[in-house]
Amino acid sequence: ENEGYHGRVNHPARSNHRIIRFEMAGQEWGFQYSPYAYFNEHCIFLDGQHRPMAISRQSFERLLAIVEQFPGYFAGSNADLPIV
């Protein structure tokens, strides 16, 4: 959502953010390298539809679809915990 954003005084720029869009299981997805790289090639897969995060059977199906489409990568997920 901040792809190419130039920033402002109280929000950092994201001018170098770029999202590679692709289709997976009939849905639009995005791939980008993380601005907070905790390890080499740390990247993020983004659902094309913005919705609240929820862990379900479909979440695991999507993770498996990611590693099938991008076999050189390991896929994980954040928890669906509320912000505390």
> In sequence order, what E strands does 1-84 have?
20-24, 27-33, 43-47
Burial environment of residue 29 by CB neighbours within 10 A (0 to 12, 13 to 18, 19 or more)? buried
Q: Are 22 and 29 in contact (CB under 8 A)?
A: yes
Q: Tell me: the pLDDT tens digits for 4-63?
A: 888 899 988 888 788 999 999 899 999 998 878 788 888 999 999 988 888 999 999 999
pTM for the model: 0.74
